[in-house]
Amino acid sequence: MSVFNGLKFRKVYSPIHNLDPRIKFVYVCAVFGVTIIFSEIIPLILLFLLQIPFILIARVQRDWARSMRGAAFLATIIFLTNFLVAFIGSGYLVTPRNLENAVAMTLRFVVLVESFSVFFLTTSPDHLGLALEQTHVPYELVFAFTTAVRFVPVLAEEAQTIMDAQKARGLELERGNFLKRIRNYIPILIPLIISAIRRSLELAEAMESRAWGATKKRTNLYLLRLHNGDVGLIAITILIVAIAVYVRLFVPIPSIYEIWTRLI
Amino acid sequence: MIEAKDVRFTYPSGVEALKGVTVTISEGDFVAIMGQNGAGKTTLVKHFNGLLKPTKGKVLVDGIETTKVSVARLARNVGFVFQNPDHQLFGETVEDEISFGLRNFGFEKTVVGTRVTWALNLLALAQYRKTSPFMLSGGERKRVALASVLAWDPKILILDEPTIGQDYQQKEKLRQFIMQMQTQKRTIIIVTHDVEFVAECNPRVLLMSDGQIIADDEAAQILTNTKVLEQASIVPPQIAQIFLDLPELDLPKHIIDVYEARNLLLNLLGKEKSG
Domains of chain B (ranges plus CATH)? 1-64+156-169+181-223 (3.40.50.300), 237-275 (no CATH)
Chain B residues touching residue A191 (CB < 8 angstroms): 86-90
* Whether residues A185 and A63 fall in one domain: no
Q: Do B82 and A164 touch (CB under 8 A)?
A: yes
Looking at the structure, tell me whether residues A237 and A191 fall in a common domain: no
Residues A152 and A168 grouped into a single domain: yes
Contact B51 A194 (CB under 8 A): no
The pLDDT value given to residue A11? 72
Of B75, B86, B134, the CB nearest to A168: B75
Residue B51 to chain A, least CA–CA distance (Å): 7
Residues A236, A105 share a domain? yes
If asked whether residues A197 and A238 sit together in one domain, one would say: no
Q: Higher model confidence: residue A119 or residue B7?
A: B7
Residue A5 pLDDT > 80, yes or no?
A: no
Under 8 Å between Cβ of B166 and B139 = yes
B166-205 pLDDT tens trace:
888 888 988 998 998 888 889 999 999 999 999 999 899 9
**Residue B274 above 70 pLDDT?**
no
A57 shares its domain with A72:
yes
Look at residues B219, B86, B235, B101 and name the one whose alpha carbon lies nearest to residue A167: B101
| Dihedral over alpha carbons A100, A105, A107, A110 (to 10 degrees) | -160
Which residues have a Cβ under 8 Å from the Cβ of A150 and sit 6 or more positions away? A125
A contacts of B51 (beta carbons < 8 Å) = 164, 167-168
A21-37 and A125-134 are packed helices; what angle lies between their axes, rounded to 10 degrees?
A: 90
Give yes or no for residue A239 having a pLDDT over 50: yes
**Is the CB of B100 less than 8 angstroms away from the CB of A169?**
yes
- Distance from C-alpha of B244 to C-alpha of B251, rounded to nearest angstrom: 9
Structural domain count, chain A: 2
Greater confidence (B39 vs A66) lies with: B39
Check whether residue A21 and residue A35 sit in a common domain.
yes
Chain B, nearest residue to A159 by Cα: B87
DSSP state of B250: T
A196 and A147 in a common domain: yes
Residue A13's domain comprises 1-123+226-264
Average pLDDT (B149-177) is 90
Q: Distance, in angstroms, between A46 CA and closest chain B CA?
A: 33
Judged by CB atoms closer than 8 Å, whether chains meet at A169 and B76 is answered as no
The percent of residues in chain A predicted with pLDDT above 70, rounded, is: 96
* Domain shared by A9 and A105, yes or no: yes
* Neighbouring-strand partners of residue B158: B80, B189
Could you tell me how many residues make up chain B? 275
Please tell me which residue of chain A has the smallest CA distance to B72: A170
pLDDT digits (tens, 9 = 90+) for B76-103: 999 999 999 999 999 999 999 999 999 9
Q: A162 to chain B: nearest residue by CA? A: B87
User: What is the ipTM score, two decimals?
Assistant: 0.87
Q: Taking Cα atoms as reference points, which of B187, B228, B177, B185 lies closest to residue B206?
A: B228
Residues A187, B60: Cα–Cα separation, whole Å: 29
Contact of B70 with chain A, judged by CB distance below 8 Å, is answered with yes
B46 and A164: CB-CB below 8 Å? yes
Q: Which residues of A touch B15 (CB under 8 A)?
A: none
Q: Could you tell me how far CA A48 lies from the centroid of its own chain?
A: 14
Q: In terms of domains, do A72 and A23 share one?
A: yes
Closest residue, chain B, to A158 (C-alpha): B87
State the pLDDT at residue A4: 54
Confidence of residue B275 (pLDDT cuts 50, 70, 90): very low
Contact between chains at B87 and A187 (C-beta distance less than 8 A):
no
In this structure, what are the phi and psi dihedrals at residue B75, rounded to the nearest 5 degrees? -60, -25
pLDDT at A254: 84
Question: Which residue, A181, A169, A112, is CA-closest to B119?
Answer: A169
Residue in B with minimal Cα distance to A10:
B13
CA distance A84 to A87: 5
Q: Between chains, do B87 and A169 touch, taking CB under 8 Å as contact?
A: no
Residues A146 and A110 in one domain: no
Instruction: Give A122-151 pLDDT, tens digit per residue.
Output: 888 788 888 888 888 888 888 888 888 788
**Which residue from A162, A172, A198 is facing B88, i.e. has the nearest CB?**
A162
Would you place residue A67 in the very low, low, confident or very high pLDDT band (cuts 50, 70, 90)?
confident
- The Cα–Cα gap between A224 and A96 comes to 50
Distance set, CA B194 to CA B171, B200, B229, B238, B263 (Å) = 10, 10, 13, 12, 24
B82 touches chain A (CB under 8 A): yes
Mutate: best of A167, A169, A186, partner B, most B CBs <10 A: A169
Do A155 and A36 fall into the same domain?
no
CA distance B197 to chain A (A): 24
Size of interface A-B (CB pairs under 8 A): 62
Q: Are A194 and B76 a contacting pair at CB < 8 A?
A: no
Which residue among A166, A172, A198 sits closest to B88, beta carbon to beta carbon?
A: A166
Q: What pLDDT, on a 0 to 100 scale, did the predictor assign at position A1?
A: 47
Quickly state the pLDDT bin for B75 (edges 50, 70, 90).
very high
CB contact under 8 A, A195 and B88: no
State whether B101 and A169 contact (CB < 8 Å).
Answer: yes
Closest Cα in chain B, distance from residue A144 (Å)? 24
